Amino acid sequence: MPTTPDRQRPFFVVLNRRSGSGDAGATEAAIRSTLDAAGRSYRLFCAKHPRHLGELAGQAVEAARAQDGAVVVVGGDGTINAVVQVVLPSGLPLGVLPQGTFNFFGRCHRLPEGDAGAGMRGLLDATEMPVQVGTINERVFLVNASLGLYPELLERRELDKRRFGRHRLVALLSGLRALLGDYPDLRLSLCEDGQWQVRRSTTLVVGDNRLQLESIGIPQAGEVDRGSLVGIVLPPLARWHMIFTAVRGLFGHLGDVEKVDSFAFTELEVALPRRRQIKVAIDGEIVRLPLPLRFRVAPQPLRLLVPRDRRP
């Protein structure tokens, strides 16, 4: 725990200038003016490209350790994930200013969106809240991690966003368009609590965000608040049935669709015959990971800074 009083500890801010659809220059100016007006010591680390986030987060963590400070991340769920990868092992407190498209992490924890100045003012007198973090092969995820159809959908969505803009409508239409293409057919070997089973699937999603799980109608969503992760297995379906399933999910009824299997767990191992690695989407970012995949709840929680008026 920090020895510097909360109202005096310096902030080390990691800003992704490519997150969301807003003006990064205005966001940076709002952060600076808020901290200058409060007389708070700070330093900004501005990433011109997402690939620089890990390096800058490392610099911010090193500086925060040396000065008994806190790290603050400004961006969407993917940006937050990249910074948490570095902050979580350090044990430092983290403030979050959500600036992305969906902001499931920020919305789930009632963090102010969009207005960076207001968000930073809330952090000036924030309290700490422990937040559960999921891991896949020791990589952190805050919202979800998935394989199969979902990563393919996300890749198409990113291409469409670059072409048409980073808006929620673009993301939704892009997802529906992806459903008209080919679907992967995976034979998943799942080990839960020591028991193996083989399942055919087009996609496996593991969620760690109650809000997102509730928004698509998964009945186990509340288990996230009780120390579990939630798995969703979507079996091979006819095209019309897949589109129907996606529409049901958009309206919050995915859990009611026949053949969609959802379950809560604390540890899950996933293997695929004759494959050594697989494409995985982690909080919206695509990576390739070696098999088997091991999902579990991280042993230590994230020390999230939450404005006092937003504390549950």
Task: Give the pLDDT confidence of 25-58 residue by residue, as tens digits.
Answer: 899 999 999 999 999 999 999 998 888 999 999 9
Statement: residue 122 has pLDDT above 90:
yes
Could you tell me how many helices (H) and strands (E) the chain has, helices first?
A: 9, 18
Task: Out of 20-29, 81-90, 111-120, 236-245, give the one with best mean pLDDT.
Answer: 81-90
Of 41-55, 175-189, 234-248, the least confident: 234-248
Of 145-154, 215-224, 233-242, the least confident: 233-242
Q: What is the pLDDT of residue 245?
A: 54
Of 36-45, 57-66, 149-158, 297-306, the least confident: 149-158
Q: What is the pLDDT of residue 22?
A: 56
Q: What is the pLDDT of residue 153?
A: 74
Alpha helices in the chain (DSSP H): 24-38, 53-67, 77-90, 104-108, 116-123, 149-164, 168-178, 210-215, 239-250
Statement: residue 185 has pLDDT above 70:
yes
What's the CATH fold of domain 11-125? Rossmann fold (3.40.50)
**Token pair of 156 as six digits:** 């198409």
Q: What is the pLDDT of residue 142?
A: 97
pLDDT > 70 in the chain, percent = 78
What's the CATH fold of domain 143-297? Tumour Suppressor Smad4 (2.60.200)
Statement: residue 266 has pLDDT above 80:
yes
Statement: residue 75 has pLDDT above 50:
yes
* Averaged confidence pLDDT in the chain: 84
Q: What is the pLDDT of residue 5?
A: 45
Give 249's pLDDT tier (boundaries 50, 70, 90): very low
DSSP code of residue 179: T
Statement: residue 166 has pLDDT above 80:
no
Q: What is the pLDDT of residue 279?
A: 92
Distance of CA 197 to the CA centre of its chain: 28
Q: Measured at the alpha carbon of residue 226, what is the angle toward residues 298 and 305, in degrees to the nearest 5?
A: 60
Statement: residue 74 has pLDDT above 90:
yes
What does the pLDDT average to over 104-120?
A: 90
Statement: residue 253 has pLDDT above 50:
no
Q: What is the pLDDT of residue 236?
A: 65
Q: What is the pLDDT of residue 164?
A: 66
Statement: residue 223 has pLDDT above 80:
yes
The structural domains of the chain, with segments of one domain joined by +, span 11-125, 143-297
Burial class, 137, CB count within 10 angstroms (exposed 0-12 / middle 13-18 / buried 19+): middle
**Token pair of 37 as six digits:** 């007006």
DSSP code of residue 21: S
